[in-house]
Amino acid sequence: MLASASPRRADLLRQAGYEFIVRPSRQPELCKKPPSIPVEVWPVCVAMAKALAVPRRRNRNEIILAADTIVVVNGRILNKAHHRGHAREMLSLLMGRTHRVMTGLVLLTEGGQRLACATTVCRMKKPSSDWLEKYLDSGQWRGKAGAYGIQDPVVETHRMVQVISGEWHNVMGLPLELLRLELASLLTKRD
The number of residues making up the chain comes to: 191
Whether 68 is a known active-site residue: answer: yes
Residue 174 DSSP label: -
pLDDT of residue 155: 65
Containing structural domain, residue 122:
7-190
11, 68, 130, 191: the active-site residue: 68
Is 55 domain-assigned? yes
b/e burial code for range 94-112 (CB count within 10 A of at least 16 → b): beeeebbbbbbbbbbbeee
Is 1 domain-assigned? no
Is 66 domain-assigned? yes
Give the residues of the chain that fall short of pLDDT 50: none
**Are 77 and 70 within 8 A, CB to CB?**
yes
Instruction: Name the pTM for this structure.
Output: 0.91
Name residue 98's amino acid. T
Q: How many domains does the chain have?
A: 1
Is 2 domain-assigned? no
Strands 64-73 and 76-78 come out as antiparallel
pLDDT of residue 174: 96
Summarised one tens digit per residue, pLDDT across range 116-147 is 999 999 999 987 778 899 999 999 999 999 99
CATH number of residue 129's parent domain: 3.90.950.10
